């Protein structure tokens, strides 16, 4: 299982959730809670790729009121059987990678959540769009900007939504820091530091296969620092510099990055200094500095509880299960036209991919790359 030690580590750091009236009641860690389906519209979702993260999403969705698993897409018959019995999915809503285009004739499914290896997000997303269903893609939404754009174009053409699984965009402590920054409580922000990494295990997994992963740590975990720099600073970077370190050439083959340090320059004068790695544990930290205050989050993007403090004190919002809130909010975005505080649409995913393209180019050329 991916970065298990990191996840276990993060799960061990648990703080008691404080009861705060203004935070939604859904999203606690009690996966066995039976959902009360809301009176409002419910997003009926087919999950594609029944691996480790899909299992987490499915468990978390059991607490959703506005989203429900109604279908599955998998190449492994035994997983289909297992999920059918666990989540009560009828045979007619089960597909494989050859026949899932037929989903277009299935009125029980509104959206497909793609949780496959990275390189399959865009080609499968294009097929889902052509079948007339909304697309939810895991991050990264593609393996380069061209790949991401193809999925955006297909969804536009089909008139379906395209959303990316940026669960931190709904996380209460993260949203509080964003609120404070927007309110000017940090003053002029000039610096962000993002550290994202864990020690990757099995050398044969798809995450270390360029064809399936599209790269290495940057695609998988470094993207959290890129995305975080953007939502914490609140601007889009205009230039990138980057340096790669590779110590294990056997495990990290050509095109699979082990460690990259990168810097992003923002139009308002802020600089982000970030680290993306598959060779160090306990790297899950954001630091934002302005001339009136600061925010520090550690862990900053793990499954939680997220912990953080600002110059005003500790961030005390209770922990909520990220995937539960994400799917509740995505249901409202797709079915009720809700505008999220931080976007999770295809254009948002594409911005990260353009930066990743620029980082790889900066590593290759050793030069500053303008975006």
Q: Which is nearer to ligand NAD, 170 or 266 (CB)?
A: 170
Q: Interface with ligand NAD includes 174 (CB under 6 A)? A: no
- C-beta of 119 vs 131, nearer to ligand NAD: 119
Choice from 53, 87, 239, 294 touching ligand NAD (CB under 6 A): 53
Number of residues that bind ligand NAD (CB under 6 A): 20
Among 66, 69, 72, 117, binds ligand NAD (CB under 6 A): 117
Pick the piece of the chain touching ligand NAD (CB under 6 A) from 9-17, 46-54, 187-195, 244-252: 46-54
Contact residue for ligand NAD among 139, 173, 210, 354 (CB under 6 A): 139
Backbone angles phi, psi at 135, to 5 degrees: -115, 125
Phi and psi (nearest 5°) for 26?
Answer: -75, 170
Nearer to ligand NAD, 217 or 295 (CB): 217
Please say which residue, 277 or 310, places its beta carbon nearer to ligand NAD: 277
Q: Which two tokens stand for residue 210?
A: 């360029």
Token pair of 52 as six digits? 């480790």
Judged by DSSP in three states, 39 sits in coil
Stretch (H or E) spanning 54? helix 52-61
Residue 61's φ and ψ, nearest 5 degrees, are -70, -15
Confirm if 143 and 122 have CB atoms less than 8 A apart: yes
Q: Which residue's Cβ lies closest to ligand NAD?
A: 51
Contact window for ligand NAD (CB under 6 A) among 110-118, 177-185, 262-270, 307-315:
110-118
Residue 245 CB, nearest distance to ligand NAD (Å)?
A: 22
Residue 69 CA to residue 13 CA, distance in Å, equals 30
What whole-number distance in Å separates Cα of residue 137 and Cα of residue 187?
Answer: 35
Q: Which residues are catalytic?
A: 139, 224
DSSP 139-193: SSSSSSHHHHHHHHHHHHHHT--EEE--GGGG-HHHHHHHHHHHTTTT-SEEEEE
Residue number, 2 or 309, with CB nearest to ligand NAD: 2
Q: Which residues pair with 260 in a beta bridge?
A: 244, 276
Q: Which of 45, 47, 54, 141 binds ligand NAD (CB under 6 A)?
A: 54
Distance of CA 100 to the CA centre of its chain: 24
Q: Determine, following the binding rule CB under 6 A, whether residue 212 of this chain makes contact with ligand NAD.
A: yes
What letter does residue 223 receive in the DSSP assignment?
A: H
The Cα 322–Cα 302 span in angstroms is 10
Shortest Cβ distance from residue 50 to ligand NAD (Å)?
5
C-alpha triplet 58, 88, 99: angle, nearest 5° = 80
**Contacts with ligand NAD in 247-276 (CB under 6 A)?**
none
Q: Is residue 328 part of the contact set for ligand NAD (CB under 6 A)? A: no
118 binds ligand NAD (CB under 6 A): yes
Can you give the binding site for ligand NAD, defined by CB under 6 A?
A: 2, 49-54, 75, 115-118, 120, 138-139, 165, 167, 206, 212, 220
């Amino acid at each position: 299982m991916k970065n298990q030690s990191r996840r276990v580590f993060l799960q061990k750091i648990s703080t008691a959730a404080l009861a705060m009236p203004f935070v939604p009641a859904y999203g606690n860690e009690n996966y066995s809670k039976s959902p009360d389906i809301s009176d409002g519209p419910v997003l009926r979702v087919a999950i594609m790729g029944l691996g480790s993260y899909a299992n987490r999403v499915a468990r978390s969705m059991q607490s959703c009121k506005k989203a429900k698993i109604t279908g599955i897409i998998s190449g492994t018959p035994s997983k289909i059987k297992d999920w059918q019995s666990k989540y009560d999915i009828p045979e007619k809503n089960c597909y494989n990678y050859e026949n899932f285009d037929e989903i277009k004739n299935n009125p029980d499914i509104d959206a497909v959540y793609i949780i496959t290896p990275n390189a399959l997000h865009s080609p499968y997303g294009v097929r889902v769009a052509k079948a007339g269903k909304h697309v939810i893609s895991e991050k990264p939404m593609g393996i380069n900007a061209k790949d991401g754009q193809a999925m955006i174009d297909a969804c536009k053409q089909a008139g379906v939504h395209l959303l990316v699984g940026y669960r931190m965009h709904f996380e209460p402590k993260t949203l509080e820091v964003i609120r404070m920054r927007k309110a000017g409580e940090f003053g002029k922000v000039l610096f962000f530091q993002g550290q994202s990494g864990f020690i990757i295990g099995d050398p044969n997994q798809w995450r270390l296969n360029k064809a399936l992963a599209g790269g290495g740590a940057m695609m998988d975990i470094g993207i959290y620092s890129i995305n975080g720099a953007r939502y914490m600073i609140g601007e889009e970077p205009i230039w990138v510099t980057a340096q790669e370190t590779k110590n294990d050439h056997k495990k990290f083959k050509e095109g699979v990055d082990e460690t990259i340090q990168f810097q992003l320059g923002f139009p308002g004068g802020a600089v982000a200094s970030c680290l993306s790695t598959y060779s160090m544990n306990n790297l899950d930290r954001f630091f934002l500095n302005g001339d009136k205050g600061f925010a520090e989050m550690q862990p900053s993007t793990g499954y939680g509880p997220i912990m953080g403090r600002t110059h005003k004190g500790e961030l005390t919002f209770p922990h909520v299960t990220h995937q539960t809130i994400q799917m509740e909010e995505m249901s409202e975005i797709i079915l009720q036209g809700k505008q999220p505080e931080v976007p999770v649409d295809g254009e948002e995913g594409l911005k990260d991919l353009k930066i990743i393209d620029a980082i790889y180019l900066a590593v290759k050329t050793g030069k500053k790359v303008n975006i």
